[in-house]
Structure 1
Amino acid sequence: MLSLGNPSHKNILNFFDIFVNTQSYLAGVKIQKSSKMKKQIVKEFITVKRVLHLPSDPPPPPPPPQRHVLAVGSCTLDMIIIVDKPLVPGQVQRTKEGSWRRGGPAANICTVWRRLGLECEFLGVLSSARAFESLLTSFQSQGIDISNCPLTNHRPAHRSIIVQRNADSRTILEFFNANQELTYQQFVGAVDYQKYSWIHFESRNPVEMKRMIMAVIDFNERCPESRIMLSVDLDNMRPATMLMASMVDYVFARKTMMRTYAFMNGREVVWALRDGMRAARARWEKNQPRKMPYLPPDPPAEDSDEKCNGPPNNQPIVIYNNYVEGASCLMADDTYFKVGSQIPPEIVDRVYVNDTFSASVIYALHKVQMRLRDAVEYGTRAAALKLTAIGFDVLRCMPKDLIGCYYA
């Protein structure tokens, strides 16, 4: 036992008290530091939390929907028969070659677009008959949008195509019904102009087609930033057809026009179309009602350049293709050029060559952004490739640009 009266024991007690006081002081400092650190952490957390919840900028608007191309026309069930000799009335011929395909210029153009990798839509009257189910299925399997097509219960449109072997001639017997033609009201109710950047028309009913084209032109005037390019496929030179064709940007003439109107070459075809469209457009503008009060335009001055400019530059570009002689093109300023022919060593199928050319030129101009001459040459090469096989599946091997065609 230690005695408290001993001075050494007092020193020990004093040292113990000092040690206890020192420990308690240090503990208090630690507690104060810890409390300060906690307050600092809480303060910083509150600051970060406030910063995270500050009002931020509104999110950017969604990108505009991607615009694609539209083909307006017909879809038919084509029964193709290949014969060795021309048919004679009362004669029976048997052949082992023939096929059933989905036809119609507008439907074929959509097929070529999809084979080349271009998003497209078809607009035309389709039949809900059971014989037409395979054609609807083929549209869906190829990825062609037909959601806006009106359906009818009438008999589906069909054609019989008789092709003579080793001859550039064929006979077409087409079933025509007014219920299978697309009307202006159906077109206006189905088309959303903001979705399309190019609309191609098949020349069927020129009166209704002209109203459709005028509706698109009105949209282009209201929204010039979303302008839609227009093109049409021609097979005749009637006045109503010429008036309709004078309002578009590109005119594709079919090969049958040379034989129908006895033209010598493609240059005569494109110039005859240009003259016919100018005459039809002049008659139409002359018969339009004049706005009151009407003031005639002032004649151009003698020293001005208006007299020397020639025809206006709002004329459509006229293109004609014949795989035997090549493609002829007449530009809006009356500049003519020609692209050489592309004839394959062996011709297998001549059906739908014009549709392949038109669709390929539109693809090159719209998707690849080629120059006009390069686009026409690309179309001739695609048509030559189509001649080497039956159908359009061979176009999957078609290069996507003109440079690839040179090395293919």
Structure 2
Amino acid sequence: MCAACALSLGKPVLCVGSLSIDLLQFCRQVPQPNATEHCKKARWQRGGHAANVCRVLHLLGVQTELLAMLSRSSALQSMLRELHRSNIETSHCPRTELEPAYKTVSIGPRAGQRSVVECDRNFPYVQAEHFQQLDLSQYGWVHFEARSLRETLKMMRSIWEYNNGREERIRISLRVAADFAEHKDLFSMCDYVIVSHEMGVAQGWHSLDHACQELRRTIALPYSLHVRRPCFIISWGAVGAGCIDRAGNYALLPAERVNFVVDSYGVGHCFTAALIYAKYMRQMELKSALEFAIRIGAAKLMAIGYKHLAKLYTYPPDPRSDADTELIEPSDEEDAELRICSAIFNRPIDYTRHDRKSRPMANIAGATGEKRFSRTVEIFSRQVRSIIKSYREKSRQLSTKFIAVVDLAAHANKKRT
């Protein structure tokens, strides 16, 4: 795929939060106290909710920027270089000499079976003064982690002051994974509040329907009063997810069926990033955006890491011109591939039709339900590869014929002389 087709067409998404180092250990069983276990494999990877949401948004084709406190430790430099290679902006991130936060995750063979040990040693969080140095006109969406209530409140107030009297507003989303009651005061300042399954269980909500009913009561004022309310989204693991719009109407959607789970760590990051992508870049309705987020979360379960999400081809339709964007002129060899990619990738996704003759990928595209993808990821990518392959094959044939004609002409000219 050519680079021009992957460019985001809107303003960047700013993710405010943390960046840490995660050590993942894949074990035959989760270690018990006073027991020695041997893991099957282990790996280091970039951690932190905001950093991983940036990564997934980038893979989906969105320009992103990370605002987090970064350590100057050599242990973090490889991850920072990876962010730089991914074109994730970190130039506004403050630095510290302290060692970065670490997290050790022991993952068992079954989905959701894991234990987590965090070691942040009171690692500093990004301050409001760092946020206030930014030019907010450069961003279209700001996503926060529910951490450091006082500093986050100051940052959100800065966005509200910027939005005051403007038609083009910056939208605010908040991910709540801990301290629900403490961060309630932030909800009315957000456009979207995303609540994790773990947070719902900690609150004593015993089901997805119960969780949605309790979230409706979070803002006590009756819905007959026209006051600012956020949209609530809550994920509930293998059961599915639910959403509540500003009018108080809620919908429950089932999870996608996955036959074999490969890696469940980071599904929440993918769910959040996909929801932001669907609302911001695709301009989907809340229920459709939630359905899209569930499918991306199911796709995450099928492979280790996040890189495979870049193959889903979910780039924004209806490209718009941007006077401030410098377009790179493709070379002659890339020009044909650019035209092919532009014609295919810029088509909108159709959720109402399903190609029954094609081999379905139920885990990603959703083989059940009334709304289905018109084309599965596998069929879509195969079509693109076949078109590009046929074009290159024809180019090689024409090149061979041209060389043969030139050689024949040269040979005939040599005979005449």
Under TM normalisation by the shorter chain, which class is it? 0.7 to 0.9
* Alpha-carbon distance in 2 for matches of 1:271, 1:264: 11
Tell me which amino acid in the other structure corresponds to 1:211.
Answer: K
Which residue of 221, 226, 235 corresponds with 2:168?
A: 226
Q: Give CA deviations for 1:206-250 in whole Å, capped at 9, x if unaligned.
A: 2211111111111111x4123100000001354331111221000
Distance 1:402 1:158, change over 3 A: farther
Contact 1:323/1:342, CA 8 A, preserved across alignment: no
User: Mean Cα displacement is larger for which, 392-401 or 154-163?
Assistant: 392-401
> Cα gap change, 1:260/1:402 in structure 2, threshold over 3 Å: closer, same or farther?
farther
Matched, 1:210 2:153: yes
Aligned counterparts of 2:248 and 2:43: Cα–Cα separation in 1: 42
| Contact residue 122 and residue 146 of structure 1 kept, 8 A | yes
- Counterpart check, 1:261 vs 2:175: no
Q: Does 1:403 align with 2:350?
A: yes
Q: Which runs of 5+ in 2 are unaligned?
A: 1-8, 315-347, 352-364, 366-372, 377-417
Partner of 1:104: 48
- In the TM superposition, residue 147 of structure 1 has moved relative to its aligned partner by 0.8
**Structure 2: distance between partners of 1:345 and 1:324:** 12
Indicate conservation of the 8 Å contact 1:271/1:330, yes or no.
no
Opposite residue 195 of structure 1, the aligned amino acid is Q
Alignment of 1:275 with 2:189, yes or no, is no
Give the TM-score taking structure 1 as reference length.
Answer: 0.73
Q: Show CA shifts across 1:144-179 (max 9, x none).
A: 011100111111111111112114232211122444
What residue number does 1:43 align with? none
Deviations, residues 233-290 of structure 1 (Å, cap 9, x unaligned): 00135433111122100011112123322322222223323423x25xx8xxxxxxxx
- For 2:43, the aligned partner's letter is S
Over 3 Å counting, the alpha-carbon distance change for 1:231 and 1:309 in structure 2 is closer
Q: Are the structure 2 counterparts of residues 375 and 82 from structure 1 closer, same or farther at C-alpha, using a change threshold of 3 Å?
A: same
SS at match of 1:139: helix
Whole-Å separation in 2 of the counterparts to 1:238 and 1:345: 33
d(CA) in 1 for partners of 2:241, 2:349: 16
The answer to whether 1:117 aligns with 2:31 is no
- Per the alignment, residue 245 of structure 2 pairs with 331
Q: CA deviation at 1:383?
A: 0.4
Aligned to 2:189: 247
TM-superposition CA deviations, 1:381-403 (whole Å, max 9, x none) = 10000000001111012241542
Is 1:148 the counterpart of 2:92? The answer is: yes
Separation (CA, whole Å) in 2 of partners of 1:363 and 1:157 = 28
- Asked whether the 8 Å contact 1:184–1:211 carries over to 2, the reply is yes
Instruction: Give the aligned partner of residue 198 of structure 1.
Output: 141
Q: Distance in 2 between matches of 1:323 and 1:381?
A: 12
Residues 170 and 329 of structure 1: CA distance in aligned 2, closer, same or farther (over 3 Å): same
Distance 1:383 1:163, change over 3 A: same
Task: Give the partner amino acid of 1:218.
Answer: E
Q: CA deviation at 1:326?
A: 1.4
Distance, in Å, in 2 between the alignment partners of 1:116 and 1:238 is: 29
Report the counterpart of residue 260 of structure 2 in structure 1: 346
Map of 1:235 onto structure 2: 177
2-structure distance, mates of 1:176, 1:274: 34
1:358 alignment counterpart = 272
In the comparison of the two structures, how many residue pairs are matched?
314
CA contact (8 A) 2:197 2:237 kept: no
Identity of aligned residues (%): 28
The match for 1:70 among 3, 9, 14 is 14
Secondary structure in 2 matching 1:171:
strand
Secondary structure, in 3 states, of the residue corresponding to 2:40? coil
Preserved CA contact (<8 Å) 1:194 1:226: no
1:160–1:107 CA distance, 2 compared to 1 (3 A): same
Map 1:43-54 → 2, pairs under 5 A: none
Distance 2:272 2:99 in 1: 29
* Alpha-carbon distance between aligned partners in 1 of 2:179 and 2:148, rounded to the nearest angstrom: 13
Which range is displaced more, 170-179 or 210-219?
Answer: 170-179
Give the whole-Å Cα distance in 1 for the aligned partners of 2:135 and 2:12.
11
- How is 1:21-36 mapped onto 2 (pairs within 5 angstroms)? none
CA 1:66 to 1:165, structure 2 compared with 1: closer, same or farther past 3 Å? closer
Matches of 1:165 and 1:259, distance apart in 2? 22
Change (3 A) 1:244 1:309: closer
Q: CA deviation at 1:86?
A: 3.0
SS in structure 1 at match of 2:132:
helix
| Aligned partner of residue 14 in structure 2, secondary structure | strand
In the TM superposition, 1:302-313 aligns within 5 A as 310-313=224-227
What letter is aligned with 2:15?
A: A
Report if aligned partners of 2:231, 2:244 keep a CA contact under 8 Å in 1.
yes
Is residue 323 of structure 2 the alignment partner of residue 376 of structure 1?
no
Q: What is the alpha-carbon distance in structure 2 between the residues aligned to residue 93 and residue 203 of structure 1? A: 34
Give, in whole Å, the separation in 2 of the partners of 1:193 and 1:234. 23
